[in-house]
Amino acid sequence: MNPVLQVKNLKKIYKVDTVETPALQGVSLEVHQGEFIALAGPSGSGKSTLLHLMGGLDKPTSGEVWLGGKRIDGLSRAQLSDLRLWNVGFVFQAYNLIPVLTALENAAFVLELRGEPREVRESKALGALETLGMKDFAHRRPNQLSGGQQQRVAVARALAARPKIILADEPTANLDSKTGLALIEHMRTLNREHGVTFVFSTHDPRLLERVDRIVRLEDGQIAA
Ligand SMILES: Nc1ncnc2c1ncn2[C@@H]1O[C@H](COP(=O)(O)OP(=O)(O)OP(=O)(O)O)[C@@H](O)[C@H]1O
């Protein structure tokens, strides 16, 4: 079966003025349907960069990114944003919840962007909140929820859109260890019972024990 996501010899060099930082130096990786993968490695090893490139949020300097059998690294901004809307769920700090919207409205947000009718998006969003144990909090705004509950809403938002893959950048950062582990258990359940594919970065050794596969990055390369 084709991988859900594949990167081939991926390189990324960031340029700030005349300073070049080689963030990825030839990374190749296949992610298959239903996998639950952690990206590990020291700070600055390229985990976030790899997640951004895999989700089409940024373009590589060279190399290939394939999502669902389609090569995406050469697409235009508009094509990429459309592709993300339909195929990828993100749980990233930069995509935090919208403060003026309730948990339900946040969870339905991607579906609203897709133009789905209100009843359909509310029913899908409510279903996703329920899966994450957040149905009773559907009408609260983010500032009325704990950090762990907010992260569960962020995962519900990604899930409600039923993407091919969910990418998460340190989803348990800023959560105490108990709440972080509970979130990971929820993600694991989504993975096992609903077949949702996950790739996420983490520094937490307790989370790394719970994954199928650990991809370790060091200096922008996959460590042997
Ligand atoms: N937008 C950017 N502009 C310039 N350099 C960047 C940019 N983003 C990342 N870098 C550099 O690229 C390298 C890889 O960074 P990246 O954020 O991918 O690492 P990381 O493994 O996710 O780190 P952390 O665990 O601290 O989040 C680092 O040297 C970083 O300073």
Mutation test residue for ligand 1: of 14, 52, 57, 208, the one with most atoms within 8 Å of CB = 14
| Interval 89-99 mean pLDDT | 87
Output the CA 137–ligand 1 centroid distance in Å.
35
Give the number of other Cβ atoms within 10 Å of residue 10's Cβ. 25
Three-state secondary structure call for residue 110 = helix
For 74: left if phi > 0, alpha if psi spans -120 to 50, otherwise beta; the answer is alpha
The ipTM is 0.97
Strands 36-40 and 197-201, how do they pair?
parallel
Distance 202 CA to ligand 1 centre (A): 14
CATH no. for residue 85? 3.40.50.300
Find the length of the chain.
Answer: 224
Which residue in this structure is represented by tokens 């077949």?
195
> Distances from the Cα of 98 to the Cαs of 104, 105, 172, 180, in angstroms?
11, 9, 19, 21
pLDDT of residue 30: 97
Tell me, in angstroms, the distance from the centre of ligand 1 to residue 71's CA: 24
Mean pLDDT of 100-122: 96
Query: How many structural domains comprise the chain?
Result: 1
Mean pLDDT along residues 52-73: 94
- Using an 8 Å Cβ cutoff, are 173 and 149 in contact? no
Render pLDDT for 189-223 as a digit per residue (tens, 0 to 9): 889 988 899 999 998 887 888 898 999 999 999 99
Distance 94 CA to ligand 1 centre (A): 14
Ligand 1 atom closest to residue 45's alpha carbon, by position in its atom list: 21
Supply the pLDDT for residue 148: 87
Q: Whose CA is nearest to atom 5 of ligand 1?
A: 14
Q: What is the pTM (predicted TM-score) of this model?
A: 0.92
Q: What confidence score (pLDDT) does residue 200 get?
A: 94
The reported pLDDT for the residue numbered 121 is 95
Measured from CB, residues less than 6 Å from any atom of ligand 1 are 14, 16, 21, 23, 41, 43-49, 201
Q: Which residues form the domain of 186?
A: 5-222
The pLDDT tens digits for 123-167 are: 999 999 998 889 999 999 999 999 889 989 999 999 898 888 999
pLDDT at res. 214:
95
Mean pLDDT of 87-102: 90
For the sheet with 165-169, list strands across it.
88-91, 165-169, 197-201, 36-40, 213-218, 221-222
